[in-house]
Amino acid sequence: MATSTDTLHVELVAADRLVWSGEAEVVVARTIEGDVGILPNHAPMLSLLAEAVIEISPSEGPVVIATADGGFLSVAENRVSLLSEEVLLAEEINVEQAYVELENAKVRLGEDDDAHLRIRRAEAQIRAVEKYKHA
C-alpha cells in the first residue's frame, strides 16, 4: 500500500482548464535549465518550463504525455504543479497541423521574431505524439 511519501500529487494546469490531476510516481519536464525528473520526496524547487514535452507516470493507468507552452514548475512536499498558458495532451494534438506550423515557421526565420518559438512549440507537439504512439 502506497503512503503519501510514495507518490506525488500532480496538477497539470492550462490558463483555461485543469488538464490532468492525480497521483504519480514520476514527472519528467524540461525547464529552461534542462530536463528534470521528479520523484517522491524531491527537494523543493521553482523553475521556468520550456516549450517541451511533459511526461507523467501515474500511480495507476497509462503515462500522460503533454506539451506545455512554457510556464512554471513548482515542487514542494510531494506536490508538483505545472502551470502554462497552453497545455495539450498528446491525444489532442493534430500532428499534421504541427508539421505545417513547423514548416511555415522555418520559412519565416529571420522575418518573424516569433519563428523560433513557433518552431519549438511545433517540434514539442510532434515529439509528444511520437512518444504517445510508442507508449
pTM: 0.89
Helix, strand, coil percent content, the chain, rounded in steps of 5: 25, 45, 25
Q: State the pLDDT at residue 4.
A: 52
User: What structural domains and CATH numbers belong to the chain?
Assistant: 8-89 (2.60.15.10), 92-134 (no CATH)
Q: What pLDDT score was predicted for residue 120?
A: 93
Cross-strand pairs, 12: 20, 82
- What does pLDDT average to over the chain? 94
Q: How confident is the model at residue 1 (pLDDT cuts 50, 70, 90)?
A: very low
Residue 2, all three cell numbers: 502506497
CA separation for the pair 57, 64 (Å, rounded): 6
Tens-place pLDDT, residues 33-56: 999 999 999 999 999 999 999 999
